[in-house]
Structure 1
Amino acid sequence: MTDLLHPADHANPAAIKRLAVLTSGGDAPGMNAAIRAVVRTATHHDIEIVGVRRGFSGLHRGDMRIIGPRDVANTIQRGGTILLTARSHTWRTPEGRAKGAANLREWGVDGLIVIGGDGSFHGGYFLQEEHGVPVIGIPGTIDNDLYGTDHTIGYFTAVETALDAVDKLRDTGASHERIFVIEVMGRHAGHIALEVAVAGGAEEVFIPEDPKPVDGVVQIVKDSVAKGKASSIIIVAEGYPGGATGVSDAIEKGTGLETRVSILGHIQRGGSPVSSDRVLASRLGEAAVYALMDGKKGVMVGRENGQIVHTPLHETWEKSKDVSRDLYRCAKMLSV
């Protein structure tokens, strides 16, 4: 369930004096904007912020320090995360989480804000369940695959980065009369692939949510050639069975035409965040502080239909978030 965050005077009924913030999992453009919003919102309400470096790994080791408004100056436009990020095997153990909780208590922390994806939210959820530390999640992942928010921080920039690459590859494909099969990120979700396919004018798109037989692309390519199209763009989400290589092999085997595979990979994670990610991150960072001030815990702050909402952390991974079927239909319609 989600509930709207109604404007309030935010008198801090929870009497919070100090909060901690960390970034975890894969980095996403806009994480710094979220950190900045957390720090400046908290400071405005006389709340100190402890910055945890290197995610849950740093929390386990006690890699923490007080950060203030000047520490986040000139960061809103920067990609990556100034707090650094890492994946922690130790945090997956009760002993690891107990050590992290002890570090938070030693620092006098009243609540933790976790910026990341579903794996990061799992880590925060179990910390709260086992040790009573109030946790608020901010969705920071380029895949846009978290239930409870229309968009996640980093998604807009990842789409723009991938689209820029697709536009350049289309120029090369047209010049050499070749078929380009381009793989974009999305291990379990096809949001990036679908949006890039529509915006990039792709002839076909393959996403994990619809593992259709790859043989169908063979006829599409044949029809394109018959219509006089000398080059084609095929978009494949990395989570589609077989990936771009599998799609490319099927096209070459079925048509005898030469293809080129381009796997964009981690380039989609980097770069300066676009305005939409900066604004989303700023709103969610502010909302996370207010959520803790209002006594909420164990929820993710998200934005749906322009409004800030709260979703229980466990629902963000227990409930699935589908791609836009209307956009999927549009991609098919416009590819003829």
Structure 2
Amino acid sequence: MTKYKIENGLETKELVQNRVIAPNTAIRETKNNQQVTLKYEVVNDWENVSHLASLREILDKWNIDIEMSYKDYAQQQHDRIYGVQINDEGTIEQMNDELAQACVDELKNLDIYNYPQPINMEVSLLSIFCGLYGITDESIRAEGIGNICKFNKLSANVDKNYGQASSNDQRKPNPWILTKILRYHNKDYYEQIIKPLLKKNFEAKKKEIQILINQTLIPNKIDLQDGFTLLDMQEKAANGEYENEEQIVMELTRLLVYYEGETEDIYAIKGYDSICDTQVLYHKLEGTVYKQLEKININFKNKKTDEKIDDKKESKQLTAKHIFKKYSFKMDIRKLPIFNQKIMI
């Protein structure tokens, strides 16, 4: 589609020019037979913003891939689980000191070039400084910067532009670049040292998130200090320790709550988390909850053995799922504590 400039309400023969330019760029243009200089200035000082994620980093956060091999896809999946770099606010997460020190320790024996290339191809001075300036601990960062010239082979252009690169790259710090450099250029060290530390970092973050969720629960609803779980209930039911359905409903109130989702109710079941070493709430859909409750076979205490055998012959085994559905659909759910307890996350 061709568009022409409009002057004084009339279309001229001069084509409209659409430009993609850098900030502080000056362009000469002829207007009304006079040559003028147009200057494009920076808006909101965006060029000095250092905490914003790049487009590719945001796409990674959203699990969007652009053409990659299965091998790269598998590695990407690993990175997303253990090496998440962007938090929910869209900013790059800080790297803990243990992982930062491990990265700095082996940034050695590298061929470092001046012109930026993809990290899997070669290491550039740009990527090194971007990674090191993302380290929060000043002593670790200084050690890494000192090691650049001491333990690596620099190209002639790197020697020439070292001073400029060391100052410019503070604008876009990202310490996680260092893990990628090691992944491609020191694979053994990455597999033996960095990968386990990434997993450790992931588990620590998972524990923090779970603790935060637990702290936001409405008090006195589900007691996470209570060690009672579905497995305990299953064992009691199998041993015939329950006398009636009401006892089972009351036990479920110790284990199960729900909150309203956008399209359906989301249930939360208390269970033990080995990573957190504590009781936590697992959030699940209704169908998954039913499958778990269906595994709990009910044998009431006051029934004789012969009666139990006859019941099994005449009908299906009674489970916690049947009782759950019976009380939730046939009675006023507002009168049952199991169904009016909700959690906020």
Pick the TM interval, shorter chain: under 0.3
- Give TM-score, length-normalised by structure 2: 0.21
> Using CA pairs below 8 Å that are at least 6 residues apart, which structure has the higher relative contact order?
1
TM-score, normalization: structure 1? Answer: 0.21
